[in-house]
Structure 1
Amino acid sequence: MALVGCGSAVPAASITNQQLSERVDTNDEWIRTRTGIRARRIAGPSESLTCLASRAAQAALDHAGWSPDDVDLILLATSSPDDLFGTAPRVQGTLGARRAVAFDLTAACSGFLFALITASQYLGSGTMKRALVIGADQLSRWVDWDDRSTCVLFGDGAGSVAVEACGAQDNGLLGFRMRSDGSRNGCLTLAQLDKHAPLLGELTAQRGGFAPIQMNGQEVYKFAVREVPAILSELLEATGTAPEQLDWLLLHQANQRILDAVADRFAIDHSQVLSNLALYGNTSAATIPLMLDEAVKDGRVQPGHLLASSGFGAGLSWGAALLRWQGPTD
């Protein structure tokens, strides 16, 4: 599987820490020192998840030099769909990718990596040739904006990559690992509301809806700084890759302290850690492709560069992938 194109999209409106302090009891220094976040993008009335995902996917198509009819598969990693029956088909329709099968994949902040690995299996089997993998979330609709422990963390955005089947010499997915631990699910949830209404006689029916995001920040932080280095170590050992061979660390953008801790674990210079969370906050499944697109477009990530990537979050779930960027082919 070769990674041959990328794209991203973010809402127009940006809310700074100082602006947020007008709503809740917080301040810029408190947020920055604990998370590294300075601002986050928030979708407006005309910026649905479908809109953001479609814009990112179209940008990846353009970058790869594909037409919509070239696409066999569209995978949308999201935990905040516009339609619980699936938002990927809406994206397919918007793009005009008539030949593509499209479906959602939900794995929270690990979603993009899980979707990328899933796409690789279709391409590797020979059943499909080209795929768009999108990570997009609009968690602003599920944040309690009066809860300063969570509302300061999340933002909206989308990112996408175009991937295609290739020979071994161009393979861009050199190895991967995936993990889940449902026994720790309660650390980070966006849970169904436990509300029931009378139906017939003594029977009731549950009403749809979800509670705001709930998070045990300390436990999630400890989970990340323990499990991410462990799974990356396992992957690097399995692929015979030394940390000094890596060009970049491309990690889920949740907290700058987590990114720095992982770099320190492998003695990787902090300048090799790709980070844009200061401007966007935690965009969940979008963080990795959003960061990749930024680094490709500004020239930091070049064809042939080797990236160790890890996604981690609710589920609890986490994963890692060793990626080589190729970029558009002639």
Structure 2
Amino acid sequence: MINSVITGSGSFIPEKIIKNIDFLNYKFYDEQGIFIEKPVHEIIEKFQEITEIEERRYVDDKTFTSDIATAAAERAIADAGIDKEEIDYVIVANNYGDIDPVYRQVDNMPSVATRVKNKLGIKNNRCRPYDMLFGCPGWIEGLILAHHLFQSGTAKKALVIGADTLSRAVDPHDRTAMIFADGAGAVILEAKESDKAEGIISYDTICDSLDEMTYLVNDKSLKEDYEGSQINIKMRGRKVYEYALRKVPALIKRVIDNSEVEISEIKKVLLHQANAKMDHAMIERLFKLYNITEVPDDVAPMTVQKLGNSSVATVPTMYDLIAKKQLGNHEFNSGDNIVLGSVGAGMNINAIVYRIP
């Protein structure tokens, strides 16, 4: 059988640390555009209580999404030990392309994937660059796309990257600005023949795009006379929270059940992380679907407290850190079954059961 397996991983975590106290001079407005009179330190304390986010990482003004995507890619290629000219597809999940640090102009022509291929110096013109615009689940959907390409026999190696610089896409007058961060993660996915199932075992994706499409959008600032970008992330937090709890655990359960793996055999659940409260609730609800009330302590690694929400980069960065044994005591062992799952703008949800080779 042809398996789709990760043979190398890499990530790029910006050096610039932004702590919660760095938002003390911000002036926040509510959804109706009314200035919030509450002291900012109280807003920040409440924010941290809910999200558990203490700090996040931002890129410097000279660095773009395609730069950090390339850095993560170079590390993944080196880790896999492959020749970059053997790569059939460069798939880059992102949301905004490269964003100008001053004018906040979004630039995605040519695509980020094309820019990454250029910066990697790949000469092979049979290496096709794709951008995956799929909200926060984009990197996982990139893996699913590559898996289909492998199964069709049209490819054997894919570089799948998740990269965003969301610090340039936030409204500084919106409290949700404190959630978002920058980062990149990448893997080399390869088609490998084997007599046993490993790598991507099962997967599924759903999209609800009626009223749900308004839960995460771009819009003008909450401050009426703001002179910055008109392209700012707007998140209806309560709607996203309710939607995620209602739909994500059920989809993950379906993917686990289709894999014919028992929930007790799932060693890790790597979830996209917008805020810790939502992730804790989704994990608890997933296990309750199996009539399990005690969630294993180490099943759901977390990075949101220190890295914030880096969108498409969250799950691949977490994967890379665990693969390199750089995330606490978490580690992967051969034969482990893990879940990769995400929810985001669209609204899109996807999940994969992946068996470590």
Q: Do Structure 1 and Structure 2 share a fold, with TM-score over 0.5? A: yes
Quote how far apart the aligned CAs of 1:70 are: 2.0
The residue that corresponds to 2:115 in the other structure is 90
Q: How many residues align?
A: 310
The residue that corresponds to 1:206 in the other structure is none
Mean alpha-carbon deviation: is it higher for 309-318 or for 268-277?
268-277
- Is residue 2:342 matched to residue 1:314? no
- Between structures 1 and 2, the one with greater helix share: 1
* Contact 2:244 2:282 (8 Å CA) reproduced: no
Mean alpha-carbon deviation: is it higher for 120-129 or for 153-162?
120-129
Please state whether the residue corresponding to 1:249 is helix, strand or coil.
strand
Partner Cα separation in structure 1 for residue 335 and residue 118 of structure 2: 33
The residue that corresponds to 2:70 in the other structure is 54
Quote how far apart the aligned CAs of 1:127 are: 1.1
Partner Cα separation in structure 2 for residue 145 and residue 271 of structure 1: 35
Partner Cα separation in structure 2 for residue 225 and residue 239 of structure 1: 22
Paired residue type of 1:58: E
* Contact 1:177 1:321 (8 Å CA) reproduced: yes
Choose which of 284, 296, 310 in structure 1 pairs with 2:311: 284
Quote how far apart the aligned CAs of 1:210 are: 4.7
The aligned runs of 1:1-330 (5 Å cut-off) are 1-24=4-27, 25-26=40-41, 28-82=44-98, 83-85=107-109, 86-99=111-124, 100-148=127-175, 150-168=176-194, 169=196, 171-183=198-210, 184-191=212-219, 210-265=230-285, 266=287, 267=292, 268-298=295-325, 300-326=331-357
* Contact 2:95 2:134 (8 Å CA) reproduced: yes
* Contact 1:309 1:321 (8 Å CA) reproduced: yes
Mean alpha-carbon deviation: is it higher for 91-100 or for 162-171?
162-171
Partner Cα separation in structure 1 for residue 46 and residue 257 of structure 2: 38
Q: What's the CA shift string for 1:35-63, capped at 9, x where partnerless?
A: 11111111111221111000001110011
Question: Structure 2-normalised TM-score?
Answer: 0.83
Partner Cα separation in structure 1 for residue 247 and residue 23 of structure 2: 31
**Percentage identity across paired residues of the two chains:** 31
Question: Using a 3 Å threshold, how does the CA distance of structure 1 residues 122 and 310 change in structure 2: closer, same or farther?
Answer: same
Structure 2: segments with no counterpart, 5+ residues: 28-39, 99-106, 222-228
Partner Cα separation in structure 2 for residue 140 and residue 236 of structure 1: 34
Q: What's the CA shift string for 1:262-308, capped at 9, x where partnerless?
A: 32231431321011111111111111001111111116123332111
Please state whether the residue corresponding to 2:232 is helix, strand or coil.
coil
Question: Using a 3 Å threshold, how does the CA distance of structure 1 residues 109 and 26 change in structure 2: closer, same or farther?
Answer: farther
Question: Structure 1-normalised TM-score?
Answer: 0.90
Quote how far apart the aligned CAs of 1:154 are: 0.3
Q: Kindly report the root-mean-square deviation, in angstroms, between the aligned alpha carbons of the 2 structures.
A: 1.7
Partner Cα separation in structure 1 for residue 25 and residue 332 of structure 2: 38
Quote how far apart the aligned CAs of 1:30 are: 1.7
Partner Cα separation in structure 1 for residue 272 and residue 113 of structure 2: 22
Partner Cα separation in structure 1 for residue 197 and residue 87 of structure 2: 19
Partner Cα separation in structure 1 for residue 282 and residue 340 of structure 2: 11
* Contact 1:260 1:270 (8 Å CA) reproduced: no
